């Protein structure tokens, strides 16, 4: 099986899983964005995704992502595709990330928020789409805002026209079995959805936040059932 054939087969399976989870939750599958995490694959697989209509691509590290983004610049532009930065970002990489990526989906501190705004202004970019990463589970090894810090983050973001806060993202603790995944992921995703509703009800950002990025290959169905608008899938597309 060629890389393109494998990607096509896996993509059909992932889309079927998204459709089934959405229907279980009484939701429109069309309201859920699949972000393909391409950190483990090369240009052939990414080209296959583009040819199959996938328009959201993601990487979690700048250095390995740059040559891919540059090599595929014309093709992604023609396809109307966009690149998401989904990994932890050091402030000294903010300028380079803004030069290469459309969106930053893992803004995990006010310091990084302010740095991105400063660099975006220098580059002449405004309303750069971002998500606030929230460490709902409280795991020490995970990056992200504490839930109690989200109000201050959103309030600060409101004053930065260079950035456009769209919503929230999180990662659930890893589970070894389907039962573990269910027990670990669902409470985290449910809490993130509650935080989004709380932020909107209180008007922390001044306008509604709509995006919830939660769920990866092993738990995105749970994310969809709990309200995810975006799921991030890598292994499920390429293995």
What string of H, E and C letters represents the secondary structure of 84-141? Answer: EECCCCCHHHHHHHHHHCCEEEEECCHHHHHHHHHHHHHHCCCCEEEEEEECCCCCCC
Which neighbouring-strand residues pair with 134?
145
* DSSP 8-state code for residue 233: E
How much is the pLDDT for 239? 86
Question: Given the structure tokens 């079927």, which residue do they identify?
Answer: 16
How much is the pLDDT for 190? 97
How much is the pLDDT for 96? 97
What's the pTM? 0.95
How much is the pLDDT for 1? 80
CATH of domain 3-238: 3.20.20.10
Q: Are 29 and 23 in contact (CB under 8 A)?
A: yes
How much is the pLDDT for 115? 98
Phi first, then psi: give them for residue 217, nearest 5 degrees: -50, -40
How much is the pLDDT for 117? 98
How much is the pLDDT for 167? 98
| Binned average pLDDT, 10 residues per bin, the chain of 239 residues | 90 97 96 96 95 97 96 97 96 97 97 98 97 93 94 98 98 89 94 98 97 96 98 95
Within the chain, strands assigned E span 33-37, 56-59, 82-85, 103-107, 128-133, 163-169, 211-213, 230-233
Q: Are 137 and 188 in contact (CB under 8 A)?
A: yes
How much is the pLDDT for 19? 97
CA distance 196 to 216: 19
How much is the pLDDT for 124? 97
What three-state secondary structure class fits 178? helix
């Amino acid at each position: 099986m060629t890389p393109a054939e494998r990607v096509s087969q896996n993509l059909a399976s992932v889309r079927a899983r998204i459709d089934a989870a959405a229907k279980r939750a009484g939701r429109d599958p069309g309201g859920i964005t699949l972000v393909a995490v391409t950190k483990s694959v090369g240009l052939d697989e990414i080209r296959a995704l583009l040819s199959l209509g996938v328009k959201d691509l993601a990487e979690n590290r700048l250095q390995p992502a740059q040559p891919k983004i540059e090599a595929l610049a014309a093709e992604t532009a023609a396809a109307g595709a966009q690149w998401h930065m989904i990994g932890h970002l050091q402030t000294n990489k903010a300028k380079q990330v803004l030069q290469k990526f459309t969106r930053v989906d893992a803004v995990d501190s006010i310091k990084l928020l302010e740095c991105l705004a400063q660099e975006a202004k220098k580059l002449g970019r405004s309303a750069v789409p971002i998500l606030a990463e929230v460490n709902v589970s409280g795991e020490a090894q995970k990056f992200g805002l504490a839930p109690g810090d989200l109000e201050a983050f959103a309030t600060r973001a409101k004053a930065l026209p260079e950035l456009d806060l769209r919503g929230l993202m999180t990662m659930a603790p890893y589970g070894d079995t389907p039962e573990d995944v269910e027990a670990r992921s669902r409470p985290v995703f449910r809490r993130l959805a509650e935080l989004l509703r709380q932020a909107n009800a209180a008007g922390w950002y001044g306008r509604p936040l709509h995006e919830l990025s939660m769920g990866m290959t092993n738990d995105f169905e749970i994310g969809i059932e709990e309200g995810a608008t975006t799921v991030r899938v890598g292994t499920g597309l390429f293995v």
